Structure 1
Amino acid sequence: MAMKSVCLMISQKNNVPNIVVLGSGGGLRAMIALLGTLVELKKQNFLDAVMYLCGVSGSTWCMSLLYGDGKWSENLMSLEKKLCENLSNFSWHIRKAIKFLEESSKDEHYSLTDFWASCLVYQILQQFDENELADHKEASENGINPYPIYAAVDKEKLSEDDRNFPGTWFEFTPHEVGYTALGAFVSTKHFGSEFEKGKLKKKKKKKHICYMQGLWGSALGSMEENLKFIRANIQPSYLVKTKIISLIDAGLAINSAYPLVLRAERRTDLIISFDFSSGDPFETIKKTATYCQKNSIPFPKIEDQEMDENNPSDCYIFRGDKSCPTVMHFPLFNNMNCSDKIEEYRERFPTFCMSFCKGNIEDLLEKAGLNVSNNSGKILQEIKRLGSSSHTKQF
């Protein structure tokens, strides 16, 4: 009820803070943790105030599964139960995976992304979603759910060792895909087709959600390990063709999609960042600060706060001047929800893990939810502060 009162208050003043929720990468751990986070945001009445939901790698797996339901934010509790049951049951069929791979091999853009999607992502998520990203338009237009943004990066630009180049970042939404910084976009339904001078030249077969999940989460897929698996388990020669993969997991640049939501047109006021990374839980915000500094993008200073990667707290708030968004940063495992067992939890939930038992899934959901419930007062305070100040952009 408190959240609804705040939303009413700020709407009456025509100062609506533009709120973004970021989910970092981290494989299956990130997928489950984002689900637990969103469930608790809903319970605390914050989810209705979120404008954008933006994910990298494992977080995109959670998002793309949810947006298959047009009213997912209203059905979160039942969806949570269903997704947890799916993750606990083995329903991957190698024959089905091979069939999709054989069909994919006929496409000139066939690559190891097809293998990763069909044989590994399908196996991790225990479902093969044959719908398309453009099919999620209804779920993103009905005003019920936050608008989804999925991140990838250009492999060729990333290989130039220039990870701070804005043109490296590529975004996907149900409506359009393209280079964020360049403003170069095409309709999502034509992703993978050929264009010349901005016009559609040759329409290609549409990519299904499972393929997208493989592309967005490709950092977990080692080319060498994939080839070993193929040669050891699947004999058809079409699986080992050499192709170029252009777009890869954005986590290889920054493991959270700050560059997409810092796009000026998005007028972001408050970034609520949930970090599900392994290792240093502050690496994403440190890399973002460097990225923003090199590209003259307003971002709050982070040097003034002590950040102990081995013993992090559960919530950090970074504020800047009126040109900067406020950032609330939440490390997944911290000294509040794990006490003195942070390292133990990190070891229990490694990134390169294809499944967790039911008990671990429930534990991870709880830990992620605690980061929201334990800090609901702080989140509410920041929304109030931004809503009542001239900091907020006018709509």
Structure 2
Amino acid sequence: MWLNSEGEQWTSLTKIESSLCYLLTVRVIRARNIHQADVLSQTDCYVSVWLPTASNDKFQTKTIKNCKDPVWNETFYFRIQSQVKNVLELALYDKDVITQDDHLFTVYFDIAKLSLGEEVFMHFKCDSQRQEELEVGFALDNISGPPETIITNGVLVSRKICCLEVQVVEKKKKKEKKSLSMQGSYEGTQDIMLGSDLVFSSSSPAKFHYARYKQPTLDVTLPGKKRPPSLCSRVYDTGSPNVELHSIPSGENMILAEDKGFDLYAKAEDCLCSSPDHLDVRLGFDLCMQEQDFLCKRWNYVAPALKKVLQLQQDLLNHETPVVAIMTTGGGMRSLTALYGSLRGLKKLGVLDCATYLTGLSGTTWTMSNLYRDADWSQKDLDKQISEARKHMTKCKINSLSLEYVKYYKKQLCQRKREGRRTTFIDLWGLVLESLLHDGKDNHRLSDQQRAIDHGQNPLPIYTAVNVKNNYSTLDFKEWVEFTPYEVGLQKYGVFVRTEDFGSEFFMGRLMKKVPESRICFLEGMWSSLFSFNVLYIWNLSHSSEDFWHRWTRDQIDNIEEEPLLPLKPHELQTRLFTPPGPLGNTLRSALTDRLCISQEHNFLKGFHIHNDYLDNTHFCRWKDTVLDTFPNQLTQSDEFLSLVDTGFFINTSIMPLLKPERKVDVILHLNYSAGSQIQPLDQTCKYCSEQGILFPRVDLSEEDRKKLKECYLFDGAETPGAPILLFFPLINDTFQKYKAPGQKRSESEMEDGKVDLYGCCSPYSTYSIQYTEKAYDRLVQLSEYNILNNEDLIMQALRTAVARKRQIKK
């Protein structure tokens, strides 16, 4: 426990538990009335049995040829962790000799439905019209051995992992390269050289890190020889095991297999995992200690600034000081330029020092990363930074495609590949951005920005992206990812890594391979990945809805009947049937959902399991908004890489990190720089928050206002207790046409300076424009600054209301 900035006691939800393992028995009995998949004969059926939380192997029954009522009567055994959400996948296939096996359907069955010590025979009604049915028997029993120690935050589970050192000693003393593989381990496959001496050193043995109780299988491949049986930890299987890997005594050398030509030795060591402190990721939904410390330091700047701008007689106490955030939207170079003007306006009003957070996406992240190179940027006027940005915005960009730069790009991409990264076109885009916005190589990294907030002297910057999945539209699957100088994480799962470790390789929460932190230009490329669009996104832009295509791009999932009806239990999922699409459906779905290019980083959730009660976790449910949230086997922890894109591919907003209840944001200055409709991102945010149950003020704009927007709107959230106050600044050119400053009319000779064409067909401020004239740049900075200064009264009203509410809440 620790105290937050308001003196309240906070408790980490992460805990250590001793959790029992059970023995699950699955008996695949028979199927009935299976429809004919082949033209000339009945189906040749077999069933694939997969429980990814217990084993990485997919087991399968024998094939019953030319039969619509196949009988298998085959039994499989799994050691399962009781606190993990175990969903068994039973897939029925038609065996084909020439073509790929036909996938008929898959049944998803939640093991949480079963009662300990009871045997049950289930009849899954897969097709009521054809009366297709799959019959399976289940039993759940206690298993010998001590309980397993797990670490969990209520959504993710980290299990005990071991390091297995394996060495093959060939008796013929012939040195050759041999291959060992362990599915489900971090390493996967290792090549070793056979030697004549048994020496366990850091270099000679092959090492595998694996979850001790997840039935790992060790396979040995010796060239020119018949592959020996797998060495596995299955309790039982249709093929008997040689040894149970989880039973190998820790720290002792032992022989796993003996052969005429070689001996196989192993030594297992438990990896340290006695507390969350031993993990290299942070499991928890609260703010990290560094951010909590920052909030305390930032208060020393915010409280005096609020007292000054509001002309208060007394100092503000901690509990009376509202949390103010500046939120921006994307818009390429237009948003980069306009944000400079908005911030200069806020600086002149004294409001910039009142802000605790500054969030961005796409083009505004370019501005933010430039500003935070200066450790004291918000304590100075911004003229120098604006002038520097002007130089790069107006320079000729053709040099970025010169031979010299192309060679530099290739060298940098090769270096990233050597570091172990998966490079994509988005990395090249980041390097191009570097050349567009800087002189030469920029060695700045996101973690370097800690220097700009270590005393609380500037608002805390938060950059945003969304994690997506192949074969799914952004509407169907997206997960918010936030980046700060301290850490990177997904609030939905409550998992974060240190910023300097983002991009490194993790397994079950442990750092396995450290990769150098990316230079910030590569993050900027990912935060503004203009090239991650797909056909559905383009359709959505033109028709405002993807609904027309959902029948082609969504999985066909149906809840199915089962007999007998088992007693309803907490946390259980319904039994469902997945029917795969045909070749035409697959082709169309791929054409609609495949993205042109995507940024991929090593997944720091890799290896984690989903907790059995995850759907009852309030933090997960707040951000639960994807079609896969009730399919735990397919969530992000099962992916090798995170697939990250510009947040604008869902909603052009960076507001979501500010709506975390833990940040307690009271006032949000919504600076909108979108192209097209200025109100659309705000409307989309309101709709999303309403659907998710997230507190957000009601946006009530008249039709007249929507047709002709004003420079600023105040939504105080009075009708939604607990919601932040929202100040909405659309990027429009209204009174600026006649006024060069608040209360100062333009002369006839100055009227031309007020003509800023923001969104016309001949506008210089297109989202895809990469070069401005000096006049265009200056006018956009002046306009965005003016729109802030001209609405000082509304800003002060919002701040006064926030202070009054804080005082009232305390009373």
Q: Name the TM tier (shorter chain).
A: 0.7 to 0.9
Q: 2:780 aligns with which of 356, 364, 379?
A: 364
Q: Which residue of 2 aligns with 1:345?
A: 758
Task: Supply the distance in 2 between the matched residues of 1:343 and 1:78 (Cα, whole angstroms).
Answer: 23
Q: Which residue of 1 aligns with 2:431?
A: 118
Q: Which residue of 2 aligns with 1:239?
A: none
Task: Supply the distance in 2 between the matched residues of 1:65 and 1:169 (Cα, whole angstroms).
Answer: 24
Q: 1:141 aligns with which of 454, 458, 466?
A: 454
Amino-acid identity (%): 30
Q: For residue 328 of structure 1, what is the amino acid of its counterpart?
A: L
Q: 1:257 aligns with which of 630, 636, 654?
A: 654
Q: For residue 322 of structure 1, what is the amino acid of its counterpart?
A: P
1:392–1:209 Cα change, 3 Å:
farther
How far the C-alpha of 1:393 sits from its partner, in A, is 6.9
- On the 8 A contact 2:716/2:798 being kept in 1, the answer is no
How far the C-alpha of 1:46 sits from its partner, in A, is 0.5
How far the C-alpha of 1:55 sits from its partner, in A, is 0.4
Superposed CA offset, 1:325-352 (max 9, x none): 1111101124233579999322231101
Moved over 6 A (4+): 221-224, 339-343, 391-394
- On the 8 A contact 1:57/1:218 being kept in 2, the answer is yes
Are residue 68 (structure 1) and residue 373 (structure 2) matched? yes
Task: Supply the distance in 1 between the matched residues of 2:491 and 2:357 (Cα, whole angstroms).
Answer: 15
Aligned positions of 1:243-254 closer than 5 A: 245=600, 246-254=643-651
Q: Which residue of 1 aligns with 2:734?
A: 335
- On the 8 A contact 1:133/1:208 being kept in 2, the answer is yes
Q: Which residue of 2 aligns with 1:189?
A: 500
Q: Once superposed, what is the RMSD of the aligned Cα atoms? A: 2.8
Are residue 6 (structure 1) and residue 310 (structure 2) matched? yes
Q: For residue 479 of structure 2, what is the amino acid of its counterpart?
A: T
Bigger mean CA deviation after superposition, 381-390 or 308-317: 308-317
Task: Supply the distance in 2 between the matched residues of 1:110 and 1:283 (Cα, whole angstroms).
Answer: 34
Task: Point out the structure with the larger strand share.
Answer: 2
Q: For residue 488 of structure 2, what is the amino acid of its counterpart?
A: V
- On the 8 A contact 1:181/1:263 being kept in 2, the answer is no
Aligned positions of 1:261-280 closer than 5 A: 261-280=658-677
Q: TM-score, normalised by structure 2?
A: 0.43
Are residue 387 (structure 1) and residue 800 (structure 2) matched? no
How far the C-alpha of 1:363 sits from its partner, in A, is 0.5
Q: Which residue of 1 aligns with 2:700?
A: 303
1:349–1:304 Cα change, 3 Å:
closer
How far the C-alpha of 1:6 sits from its partner, in A, is 2.4
Q: Which residue of 2 aligns with 1:77?
A: 383
Are residue 24 (structure 1) and residue 24 (structure 2) matched? no
- On the 8 A contact 2:527/2:645 being kept in 1, the answer is yes
How far the C-alpha of 1:323 sits from its partner, in A, is 1.0
Aligned positions of 1:33-182 closer than 5 A: 33-75=338-380, 76-90=382-396, 92=400, 94=405, 95-106=407-418, 107-119=420-432, 121-127=433-439, 128-156=441-469, 159-162=472-475, 168-182=479-493
How far the C-alpha of 1:117 sits from its partner, in A, is 0.7
Bigger mean CA deviation after superposition, 203-212 or 46-55: 203-212
Q: TM-score, normalised by structure 1?
A: 0.86
Q: For residue 100 of structure 1, what is the amino acid of its counterpart?
A: Q
1:393–1:33 Cα change, 3 Å:
farther
- On the 8 A contact 2:426/2:598 being kept in 1, the answer is no
Q: For residue 800 of structure 2, what is the amino acid of its counterpart?
A: K
Q: Which residue of 1 aligns with 2:633?
A: none
Q: For residue 4 of structure 1, what is the amino acid of its counterpart?
A: K
Matched residue of 1:378: which SS?
Answer: helix
Larger RCO (CA within 8 A; separation ≥ 6) = 1
Matched residue of 2:481: which SS?
Answer: strand
How far the C-alpha of 1:155 sits from its partner, in A, is 2.1
1:198–1:278 Cα change, 3 Å:
same
Are residue 213 (structure 1) and residue 524 (structure 2) matched? yes
How far the C-alpha of 1:135 sits from its partner, in A, is 0.7
Matched residue of 1:345: which SS?
Answer: coil
How far the C-alpha of 1:259 sits from its partner, in A, is 1.3
Q: For residue 316 of structure 1, what is the amino acid of its counterpart?
A: Y
Task: Point out the structure with the larger helix share.
Answer: 1
Matched residue of 1:324: which SS?
Answer: coil
Are residue 289 (structure 1) and residue 686 (structure 2) matched? yes
Superposed CA offset, 1:304-334 (max 9, x none): 5447455311001112233111111101124
1:7–1:147 Cα change, 3 Å:
farther
Are residue 326 (structure 1) and residue 730 (structure 2) matched? no
1:208–1:267 Cα change, 3 Å:
same
Q: For residue 505 of structure 2, what is the amino acid of its counterpart?
A: E
Gaps of 5+ in 1: 225-241
Task: Supply the distance in 2 between the matched residues of 1:392 and 1:292 (Cα, whole angstroms).
Answer: 26
How far the C-alpha of 1:184 sits from its partner, in A, is 1.2
Task: Supply the distance in 2 between the matched residues of 1:19 and 1:85 (Cα, whole angstroms).
Answer: 32
Task: Supply the distance in 1 between the matched residues of 2:667 and 2:470 (Cα, whole angstroms).
Answer: 29
How far the C-alpha of 1:82 sits from its partner, in A, is 2.0
Matched residue of 1:149: which SS?
Answer: strand
Task: Supply the distance in 2 between the matched residues of 1:243 and 1:161 (Cα, whole angstroms).
Answer: 13
Matched residue of 2:784: which SS?
Answer: helix
Superposed CA offset, 1:23-68 (max 9, x none): 1100010001011111111111110000000001101110011101
Task: Supply the distance in 2 between the matched residues of 1:342 and 1:178 (Cα, whole angstroms).
Answer: 43
Task: Supply the distance in 2 between the matched residues of 1:143 and 1:2 (Cα, whole angstroms).
Answer: 15
1:159–1:314 Cα change, 3 Å:
farther
1:110–1:82 Cα change, 3 Å:
same
Task: Supply the distance in 1 between the matched residues of 2:369 and 2:323 (Cα, whole angstroms).
Answer: 22
Task: Supply the distance in 2 between the matched residues of 1:203 and 1:301 (Cα, whole angstroms).
Answer: 46
Gaps of 5+ in 2: 1-304, 536-596, 601-642, 739-750
Task: Supply the distance in 1 between the matched residues of 2:758 and 2:351 (Cα, whole angstroms).
Answer: 27
Task: Supply the distance in 2 between the matched residues of 1:243 and 1:293 (Cα, whole angstroms).
Answer: 30
Matched residue of 1:344: which SS?
Answer: coil
Bigger mean CA deviation after superposition, 385-394 or 337-346: 337-346
- On the 8 A contact 2:343/2:352 being kept in 1, the answer is yes
Q: For residue 329 of structure 2, what is the amino acid of its counterpart?
A: S
Q: For residue 789 of structure 2, what is the amino acid of its counterpart?
A: S
Q: Which residue of 2 aligns with 1:373?
A: 789
Matched residue of 2:695: which SS?
Answer: coil
Q: Which residue of 1 aligns with 2:557?
A: none
Superposed CA offset, 1:144-190 (max 9, x none): 11000000000228934436x7x610000000001123321110000
1:2–1:389 Cα change, 3 Å:
closer
Task: Supply the distance in 2 between the matched residues of 1:13 and 1:130 (Cα, whole angstroms).
Answer: 38
Task: Supply the distance in 2 between the matched residues of 1:268 and 1:210 (Cα, whole angstroms).
Answer: 29
Q: 1:199 aligns with which of 481, 488, 510?
A: 510
- On the 8 A contact 1:273/1:328 being kept in 2, the answer is yes
